């Protein structure tokens, strides 16, 4: 005997499936540890700038040193200081006595720069003032010349030298010798006292080409004044440690009146001073205000009135 079992589809609600398992690891927070100060020990040694060389190279520098003709001859025995010309600038013009000429025996300093580092050498000018420096490298150069004790170039020549080229550089030196003077005079009104201060220095060029101005300390200086000045203080006077001398004087007439100083009785140095002015106007007395009158009215109320013409 055979038994048959039948089955069919039954409609209804199906229970939700469980969520699938995750494969991601849980998030974690990373804490960065606070670092501690680390002290590095110093290493003994010397910091060195890159070495700069002048050569060997394929460029050439040359030129002539030129200066005042009066100083062109090689320096000999010391001579008396040259006559001054009032207040001098630090870079005086060529000597007015007659043009320029080659300067024999001058020293020429040549500096080559790479960044802030440099290489330096010196060459001497020949009897005709000419100088030359062959076989140098190209680059930035600074060149100046001098001859102690009285010639210097205070503004050096700056130039760029290409490799393989010959560059001609003529150098100009100026005369620095004798005395230089500066002066300061109070506002000079006619008939009024004024103070005069004068600073005197002695100029020279040292063996490195630096112009030195040494105060003329402890020297006797005489003030030379025209007839339109009256010197009311001691004359001559002795300069102090800074090379300064002072006087009191009175101007007797308006306009520019000449003044000069003579240090040690050797050199006359004219001064550049302001023109004398007319006598200052007299100072007027301040105006006075007449006193006011006070009257008491009936009822005890005071009143104040300015004085006026009498009533008629």
What is residue 89's predicted lDDT score, i.e. its pLDDT?
37
Average the pLDDT over 235-241 and give the result. 96
State how many domains the chain has.
2
**Are 269 and 181 spatial neighbours (Cβ–Cβ below 8 Å)?**
yes
Q: Reply yes or no on whether the pLDDT at 287 is more than 70.
A: no
Residues 71 and 166 in one domain: yes
Tell me: do 125 and 90 sit in the same domain. Answer: yes
Domain that holds residue 153: 63-175
Specify whether 253 is located in the same domain as 149: no
CA 64, CA 103: separation in Å to the nearest integer? 8
Q: Is a pLDDT exceeding 70 seen at residue 165? A: yes
> Do both 194 and 207 map to the same domain?
yes
pLDDT in tens, 169-196: 999 999 999 899 999 999 899 999 999 9
Is 40 within a domain?
no
Contact 163, 58 (CB under 8 A): yes
What percent of the chain has pLDDT above 70?
Answer: 71
Tell me, yes or no, whether 67 and 153 share the same domain.
Answer: yes
One domain, residues 151 and 201: no
Identify the band that residue 14 occupies on the pLDDT scale cut at 50, 70 and 90: low
Query: Who has greater pLDDT, 90 or 235?
Result: 235
- The CA distance from 53 to 50, in Å, is 10
Would 3 be classed as within a structural domain? no
- Say whether both 171 and 190 belong to one domain: no
Q: Which residues contact 210 (CB under 8 A, 6 or more apart)?
A: 152
Q: Is the pLDDT of residue 161 over 50?
A: yes
Q: Are residues 166 and 73 in the same domain?
A: yes
238 shares a domain with 170: no
């Amino acid at each position: 005997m055979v038994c048959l079992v039948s089955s069919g589809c039954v409609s209804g609600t199906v229970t939700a499936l469980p969520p699938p398992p995750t494969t991601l690891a849980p998030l974690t927070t990373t804490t960065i540890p606070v670092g501690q100060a680390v002290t590095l020990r110093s290493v003994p040694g010397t910091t060195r700038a890159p070495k700069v060389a002048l050569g060997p190279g394929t460029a050439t520098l040359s030129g002539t040193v030129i200066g005042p003709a009066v100083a062109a001859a090689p320096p000999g025995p010391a001579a008396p200081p040259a006559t001054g010309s009032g207040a001098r600038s630090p870079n005086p013009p060529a000597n007015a006595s007659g043009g320029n000429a080659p300067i024999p025996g001058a020293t020429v300093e040549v500096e080559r720069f790479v960044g802030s580092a440099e290489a330096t050498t010196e060459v001497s000018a020949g009897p005709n003032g000419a100088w030359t420096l062959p076989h140098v490298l190209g680059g930035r150069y600074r060149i100046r010349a001098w001859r102690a004790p009285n010639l210097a170039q205070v503004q050096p020549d700056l130039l760029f030298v290409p490799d393989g080229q010959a560059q001609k550089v003529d150098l100009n030196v100026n005369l620095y010798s004798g005395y230089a003077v500066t002066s300061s005079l109070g506002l000079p009104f006619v008939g009024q006292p004024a103070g005069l201060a004068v600073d005197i220095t002695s100029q020279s060029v040292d063996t490195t080409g630096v112009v030195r101005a040494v105060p003329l300390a402890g020297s006797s200086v005489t003030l030379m004044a025209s007839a339109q000045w009256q010197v009311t203080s001691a004359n001559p006077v002795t300069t102090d440690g800074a090379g300064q001398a002072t006087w009191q004087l009175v101007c007797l007439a308006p306009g520019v009146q000449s003044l000069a100083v003579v240090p040690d009785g050797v050199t006359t140095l004219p001064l550049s001073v302001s023109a004398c002015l007319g006598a200052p106007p007299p100072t007027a007395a301040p105006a006075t205000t007449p006193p006011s009158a006070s009257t008491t009215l009936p009822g005890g109320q005071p009143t104040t009135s300015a004085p006026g013409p009498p009533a008629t």
